[in-house]
Amino acid sequence: MTIVNMCRSLPGSSCRPLDRCYRFLPCLSDPARRSALGLKVALVMLHLIYVGMLFLFDGGLIEKTKREPWYTAIYLTLFVATLVQYFVTSASSPGFVVDAMRAVNESNTIFRKALVASKQPASSKNGNVVVTVEGSQMARSLLGSNATSWTKLVMDLYPPGTSVRSLTCSYCNVEQPPRSKHCHDCDKCVLQFDHHCVWLGTCIGLGNHCKFWWYICEETSLCLWTGIMYITYLKENISSAWWKDAIVILLLVTLSISIIFLLLLLLFHSYLVLTNQTTYELVRRRRIPYLRGVPERVYPFSKGACRNLYEFCCLQSSKYRMERLPTAQELEEKSRPYTICDVVTCRCCC
């Protein structure tokens, strides 16, 4: 029984303030959203405590700010930018499959209306209407009458003979494109699912993985800079007041643990970006059907480090970009050992 139900079961009006609070702030009535909000408040408070202690204890920092205001201005700018990036990433959509399906169906409707309005000649065979749009494979496979537009699009991303039933999510009842997975926390299927971030309160997927990388990059830089300022304070004021030193050392120890974790996380996700992988694919490789037969050191979706980096950074405007499964010939080419010629021609980069 939740707190709200227990409170409502009590006689009298002891729950009226709580009901008013839930009425003005509906997000607090949901336990999951309430815990996510609590984590966000805790993270902001931690940032304020670490930065506030510096300006409270370190008189030399105040003097340095007066002499070199640009130093503190850059630090505070990074502090604000990190928090802004945190909330932007937290509020961004990871790219849900149901939203992509809706977008495809809307595109199908637009194509049908345009076809009828322009009265272009169309060939009909086996009940399918074929429309050719240059440079758009998605547009070519949208129209059909025997199956929905989304089903046709998803089936084109898998090898021939794949059963639709094996691709249908048992929770959402939608066909999953390659690299997508159902998130039980968000209760939706996510395109290019990476993981569900508890601190952000959202999934990390195709739509916000780039924002997430920039957030951990900014957070790592901020923690490193803050750690250097704490060490500088201890060197200059180690014998001023023991209780101040104890507080600063305690904060520095916890900050050092956070820096190690953030550095490893940043390096790990940088590796994933350069090889076009996700955390889920790397950790659950043997449990994912389309990755079981792929050798360990072969990255089936990689297009080369440079191309992977370009698509990760510059093609984020499309949250519904989907990749087809590589063919057996492409996997064989990727598994071919590197030669001196491959190194000279930068095969790993392009």
| DSSP calls for 161-200 | T--HHHHB-TTT-SBPPTT-EEETTTTEEETT--EEETTT
Instruction: Name the catalytic one among 183, 189, 197, 203.
Output: 197
Give Cα separations from 165 to 145, 236, 282, 340 (angstroms).
Answer: 19, 68, 25, 46
Q: 183 is written with which tokens?
A: 């998130």
203 is catalytic: no
Listed in sequence order, the residues at least 6 apart from 289 whose beta carbon sits closer than 8 Å to its beta carbon are: 166
Residue 342 to residue 350: CA distance in whole angstroms? 10
Q: How many helices (H) and strands (E) does the chain have?
A: 15, 6
Listed in sequence order, the residues at least 6 apart from 308 whose beta carbon sits closer than 8 Å to its beta carbon are: 273, 274, 275, 276, 302
- Pairing state between β 195-197 and 202-204: antiparallel
Catalytic sites, residue numbers = 197
